């Protein structure tokens, strides 16, 4: 706790310091780091040399390097589920990793090769539906079996060719009804993606899809594939083992898009581009393992996060991609960060002495600017912002629009930093002809407090490689934050209670007695059933 106390003491001394005053000729360079074409700039935060040293001490005090190496080596660091955490092996299948003495990469390579062959067959038409070449792929999954590939399919749409990919997750029948409307069962491939193959939403939607398929083709099961750790359950559902792609329980759901859960993405962009995505992830792994902590992107992102959340007490973190195709990145990160680090006890079951991870939210710029940035600029709470922006878009003919996008991104972080003082606002209003009390009143509404922290992650262009780097960067950031907080980032017990109660409520909604339920729940049941 000494390291935490030292940081809190330091924060108390510097809390009101204008970030702008920290800038000298060297600050931007000193408070940023690069890795394989990425630039992470955290100079627009209230972290100074002393603060950074103290944050790095916190990381070292938590034995970060040893724990990082333990994760990569296949140690069972997910202690409440007694599992290794090896999503990193999915993107680097050439270096052996032993779990219980067995090199797990052998099976990974075999499954990867099967996925590639299947993807090539579907894309070439060698694997066809009963009405001809597959035109549409529907991925049915939820949480980690949906958000990763769904986010990436949009992000990498410039690399997707003929196949259309769709994602169904919600148990709300409206979701699957809307997706299937207009699709032809005879040329549609359905992927049932579920690590456990028991998730109620996914299995319910899978049955609905099966019934829909049966109306259009004679042998519906032949147009289903499955991605799961539960081979017995995929067989019971009727999916031929040749179209079942398995993975091990040491791949956490929200970390699983690199392996078979990424099948829909591989179908969309092709095996070669998918391998580029893996290579980007592997490049970030190498950086995370090798770079000095003080220049290590995942470590720095995590330390900035700890500074803002646990030390400054800013409860939320806005993720603001200036890249329309990263529209689902905030939703993806919500699961990655909040399911991983939203814990109340440390690894040994003791109540946390500090807050757990922040609320993560966001929308792409520039849309967010016309919606919620008002509160970010002038609201009473401080919201640290994480901007993401690329040097180049995929539409060279619209380069002028890309410049406008970049200008907006940079303008926002500059505005948050500088703000606009009452004197400046008054001067502007005076020039417009206002005077007296009205001048003062109008000027006050136009003050921006400024001194609001932000970071910016720059990349060259949103390629599969770069997306791989970004996703792996955030994964490792979550890991580092988890290590510093002393929690298990790889379980998710907090989702269980709601699942159990939903099962119990189903019969009540069908007419069974609601006895034992609280008054509010009884009233809601009465209204809704
Ligand atoms: O309910 C949470 C969760 O277990 C996530 O962790 C997981 O990504 C999601 O459900 C889906 O689980 P599955 O892949 O087993 O269907």
How far, in Å, CA of 300 to CA of 133, rounded?
A: 47
From the CA of 495, give the closest atom in ligand 1. 1
In the predicted model, what is the mean pLDDT of residues 348-365?
96
Mean pLDDT of 451-457: 98
CA of 150 to the centre of ligand 1 (A): 15
195 lines ligand 1 (CB under 6 A): yes
> Residues of the chain with pLDDT > 70: what percent?
100
Judge whether 206 lies within some domain: yes
User: Residue 317: which domain range?
Assistant: 2-75+277-418+453-491
Q: Could you tell me if 299 and 319 lie in one domain?
A: yes
Regarding pTM above 0.75, the answer is: yes
Q: How far is the CA of 107 from the centre of ligand 1 (A)?
A: 23
Hey, what are 73's tokens?
Answer: 């080596």
For residue 95, is it within any domain?
A: no
Say whether both 401 and 320 belong to one domain.
yes
Residue 377 CA to ligand 1 center (angstroms) comes to: 36
The residue from 220, 241, 269 where one domain ends is 269
Indicate whether 437 belongs to any domain: no
Known catalytic membership, residue 475: no
Task: Give tens-digit pLDDT for 284-307.
Answer: 999 999 999 999 999 999 999 999
Q: How many other CB atoms are found less than 10 A from the CB of residue 98?
A: 12
Cis amide bond preceding 525, omega within 30: no
Measured by CA distance, the residue closest to atom 5 of ligand 1 is 143
Q: Which tens digit of pLDDT belongs to each residue from 260-289?
A: 999 999 999 999 999 999 999 999 999 999
Nearest CA to ligand 1 atom 1: 495
Based on the fold, state whether residues 218 and 283 are members of the same structural domain: no
Is 194 touching ligand 1 by the criterion CB < 6 Å? Answer: yes
> What would the pLDDT profile of 304-317 be if each residue is shown by its tens digit?
999 999 999 999 99
Residue 254 CA, closest ligand 1 atom number: 8
**Mean pLDDT of the residues in the chain:** 97
Q: Would you state the pLDDT for residue 373? A: 98
- What pLDDT score does 56 carry? 98
Same structural domain for residues 241 and 325?
Answer: no
Same domain, 58 and 200: no
Q: Is 145 in the pocket of ligand 1 (CB under 6 A)?
A: yes
φ, ψ at 34 (rounded to 5°): -125, 155
Separation of CA 142 and ligand 1 centre (Å): 6
Of the residues 201, 339, 363, 481, only one is catalytic, namely: 339
Domain boundary among 217, 244, 269: 269
Ligand 1 pocket mutation, candidates 228, 492, 497, criterion most atoms within 8 A of CB: 492
Give a yes or no: residue 324 inside a domain: yes
Domain count, the chain: 3
Tens digit of pLDDT for each residue in 33-79?
Answer: 999 999 999 999 999 999 999 999 999 999 999 999 999 999 999 99
Supply the pLDDT for residue 1.
Answer: 59
Is residue 234 pLDDT above 90, yes or no?
yes
Q: Would you give the distance in Å from CA 445 to the centre of its chain?
A: 36
Asked, for residue 444, whether it belongs to a domain, the answer is no
What is residue 286's predicted lDDT score, i.e. its pLDDT?
98
Alpha carbon distance 381, 318 (integer Å): 13
Final residue belonging to a domain, choices 245, 269, 293:
269
Q: Does residue 162 carry a pLDDT above 90? A: no
| Domain identity same for 156 and 37 | no
Atom index in ligand 1 nearest the CA of residue 253 equals 8
Whole-number Å distance, alpha carbon 254 to ligand 1 midpoint, is 8
Is 386 marked active-site?
no
Say yes or no: CB of residue 202 within 6 Å of ligand 1. yes
Q: Flag whether 94 is in a domain.
A: no
Quote the pLDDT of residue 459.
Answer: 98
Helices and strands (H and E) in the chain: how many: 22, 15
Asked, for residue 135, whether it belongs to a domain, the answer is yes
Which string of DSSP letters, residue by residue, matches 230-279? -HHHHHHHT--GGGEEE--TTS-GGG-TTTGGGHHHHHHH-HHHHHHHHH
Active site includes 432? no
Based on the fold, state whether residues 362 and 467 are members of the same structural domain: yes
Q: What is the CATH number of the domain that holds 138?
A: 3.40.50.10490
Query: Both 289 and 240 in a single domain?
Result: no
Cα–ligand 1 centroid distance for 35 (angstroms): 32
> Quick one: 400 and 323 in the same domain?
yes
Residues 112 and 246 in one domain: yes
User: What is the pLDDT confidence band of residue 161, given thresholds at 50, 70 and 90?
Assistant: confident
Q: Is 389 in the pocket of ligand 1 (CB under 6 A)?
A: no
Shared domain check, 394 and 487: yes
What pLDDT, on the 0 to 100 scale, is given for residue 2? 84
Could you tell me how many residues make up the chain? Answer: 529
Residues 469 and 504 occupy one common structural domain: no
In a domain, 81, yes or no: no
């Amino acid at each position: 706790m000494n390291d935490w106390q030292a940081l809190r003491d330091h924060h108390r001394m510097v809390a009101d310091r204008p970030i702008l005053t920290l800038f000298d000729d060297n600050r931007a360079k000193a408070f940023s780091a690069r890795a394989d074409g990425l630039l992470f700039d955290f100079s627009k935060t209230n972290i100074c040399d002393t603060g950074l040293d103290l944050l790095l001490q916190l990381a070292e005090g938590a034995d970060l390097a040893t724990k990082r190496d333990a994760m990569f080596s296949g140690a069972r660091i997910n202690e409440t589920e007694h599992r290794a955490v090896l999503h990193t092996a999915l993107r680097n299948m050439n270096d052996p990793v032993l779990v219980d003495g067995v090199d797990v990469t052998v099976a990974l390579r075999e499954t990867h090769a099967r996925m590639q062959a299947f993807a090539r067959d579907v894309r070439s038409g060698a694997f066809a539906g009963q009405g001809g070449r597959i035109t549409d792929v529907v991925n049915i999954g939820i949480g980690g079996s949906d958000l990763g590939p769904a986010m990436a399919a949009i992000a990498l749409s410039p690399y997707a060719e003929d196949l259309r990919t769709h994602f169904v997750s919600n148990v709300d029948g409206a979701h699957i009804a809307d997706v299937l409307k207009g699709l032809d069962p005879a040329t549609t491939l359905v992927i049932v993606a579920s690590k456990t193959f028991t998730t109620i939403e996914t299995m319910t939607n899978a049955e609905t899809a099966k019934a829909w398929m049966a109306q259009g083709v004679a042998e519906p099961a032949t147009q289903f594939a499955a991605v799961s750790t539960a081979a017995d359950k995929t067989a019971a559902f009727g999916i031929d083992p040749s179209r079942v792609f398995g993975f091990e329980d040491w791949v956490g759901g929200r970390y699983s898009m690199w392996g078979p859960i990424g099948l829909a993405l591989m179908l969309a962009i092709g095996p070669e581009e998918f391998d580029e995505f893996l290579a980007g992830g592997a490049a970030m792994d190498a950086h995370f393992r090798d770079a000095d902590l003080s220049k290590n992107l995942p470590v720095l992102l995590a330390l900035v996060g700890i500074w803002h959340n646990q030390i400054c007490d800013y409860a939320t973190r806005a993720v603001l991609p200036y890249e329309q195709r990263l529209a689902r990145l905030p939703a993806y990160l919500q699961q990655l960060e909040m399911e991983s680090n939203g814990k109340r006890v440390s690894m040994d079951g003791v109540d946390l002495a500090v807050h757990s991870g922040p609320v993560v939210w966001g929308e792409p710029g520039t849309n967010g600017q016309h919606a919620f940035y008002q509160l970010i600029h002038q609201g009473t709470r401080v919201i640290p912002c994480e901007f993401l922006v690329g040097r180049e878009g995929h539409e060279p003919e619209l380069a002028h629009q890309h410049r406008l996008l970049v200008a907006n991104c940079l303008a926002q972080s500059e505005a948050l930093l500088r703000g606009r003082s009452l004197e400046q606002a008054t001067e502007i209003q005076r020039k417009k002809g206002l005077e007296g009390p009205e001048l003062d009143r109008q000027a006050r509404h136009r003050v921006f407090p400024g001194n609001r922290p932000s970071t910016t992650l720059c990349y060259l262009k949103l390629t599969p490689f770069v997306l791989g780097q970004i996703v792996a960067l955030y994964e490792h950031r979550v890991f580092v934050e988890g290590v510093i907080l002393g929690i298990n980032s790889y379980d998710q017990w907090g989702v269980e209670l709601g699942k159990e109660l939903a099962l119990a409520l189903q019969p009540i909604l069908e007419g069974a007695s609601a006895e034992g339920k609280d008054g509010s729940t009884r009233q809601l049941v009465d209204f809704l059933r």
